[in-house]
Amino acid sequence: MNKIPVAILGATGSVGQRFISLLNNHPWFEVAALAASDRSVGQRYSQAARWVLDVPMPAYAKEMIIVPASTEAVQARIVFSALHNEIAQELEPQFAKAGAAVCSNASSYRRAEDVPLLLPEVNADHIHLIQRQRSNKGWSGCIVANPNCTSAGLTVALKALDDAFGVKKVFAVSMQALSGAGYPGVSSMDMIDNVIPNINGEEEKVEWEPRKMLGNLVNGAIELADIQFSVHANRVAVLDGHTICASVKLSAAPPDVQTISQALCAYQAPAAARELPSAPAPAIHLRKEADRPQPRLDRLTGKGMTTVVGRVRKDPLLDIKFVVLSHNTIRGAAGGSIYNAELLVSQNLLMP
């Protein structure tokens, strides 16, 4: 089988690097173009990028020449966008219009009514929203968004609970990794021996995005889930992996901890999303130890795509509380976009 040519926009940044790493030897995709800002255009990737991952730069990328992030310069059926939001807002529709399936990590179109906000293991069926998008916009391509890196893991855990018991209220406090702020991102002087108890705009995203993903696609529109969220976002001295303390009120009379744990363990992605190359295996991994999950030890569970949950216990105010861990640049960013692209392919939604 010929591999599908894909491109990465914003290839030199930290999420771009994760795309390059995860697409190395991908069974379906082949990286055909790396695009970045004008400053880098014309350079070899190995010159232009300051590589920040602890896995080496894949050989395929080293000699590729950076091209501009324009529809003229980039020829690919799938375009992974690691662009900053303002640029993404302008460029992504151009690529969609030109026929590419844009799998975006930017926040620009997450709230657009005809853009699916996708975690395939949660709401694979929302992919069909792109039919309305194409009809609205007259595009042959499309835009598909993945959620904010903190929304991702939290929503997977909530989905398992919502399916089994109904979720009504969620209180969540995040302790987020540095890679979520890009490179150079947070100053080392702000992070050694410190916590920063805020991340601009993050709380609003995490209070809204899960409602779209846990909502239903009815008559070509998403009905937001009727769940109330309160979120506090913090930055801590962790390289990768967002940890979230969550307390949840359920619709049903609260079951015991064991029943809840079983629901989390038993959760499976929808059939359409279960066998894809990047599908997390398992979707949720439940840890039983008193002090897990921990980002350093657990973030690479299921190659960084699995949502890890631990410390499930009764909550004195709501019903249950637990801890969620998710790899923010794999499940919560580049890996998530690739998983979305695989879903598009498997559903025959790419333009020929």
Please tell me whether residue 125 adopts helix, strand or coil conformation: helix
Q: Are 128 and 169 in contact (CB under 8 A)?
A: no
Among 65, 272, 297, 349, indicate the residue that binds its own copies (CB under 8 A): 297
Least distance (Å) between residue 229 CB and its own copies:
6
Query: Per CB under 8 A, does 281 bind its own copies?
Result: no
Identity of the amino acid at 59? A
Q: Which of 8, 12, 14, 147 binds its own copies (CB under 8 A)?
A: 14
Beta bridge partners of 170: 229, 248
Q: If binding is defined by CB under 8 A, does position 196 make contact with its own copies?
A: yes
Catalytic residue among 103, 126, 142, 149: 149
Active site residue 103: no
Nearer to its own copies, 131 or 194 (CB): 194
Q: What's the rounded Cα separation, in Å, for the pair 21 and 161?
A: 33
Task: Work out the angle at residue 162's Cα, subtended by the Cα atoms of residues 149 and 302, and round it to the nearest 5 degrees.
Answer: 45
Given the rule CB under 8 A, which of 133-141, 147-155, 170-178, 272-280 is the region that contacts its own copies? Answer: 170-178
Closer to its own copies at the Cβ: 120 or 304?
A: 304
Cβ neighbours for 86, distance < 8 A, ≥ 6 positions apart: 108
Give the integer Cα–Cα distance in Å for 90 and 70: 11
Q: Which of 163, 321, 347, 349 binds its own copies (CB under 8 A)?
A: 321
User: Of the listed 126, 242, 285, 327, which one is catalytic?
Assistant: 242
**Euclidean distance between CA atoms 333 and 105, whole angstroms:** 6
Per the annotation, the verdict on 245 as an active-site residue is no
Are 154 and 206 contacting, i.e. CB atoms less than 8 angstroms apart? yes
Residues lying near its own copies in the complex (CB under 8 A): 14, 51-56, 169-171, 173, 175, 178-179, 183-198, 200, 207, 228-230, 232, 234, 236-239, 243, 245, 247, 290-297, 299-301, 310-311, 315-318, 321, 323
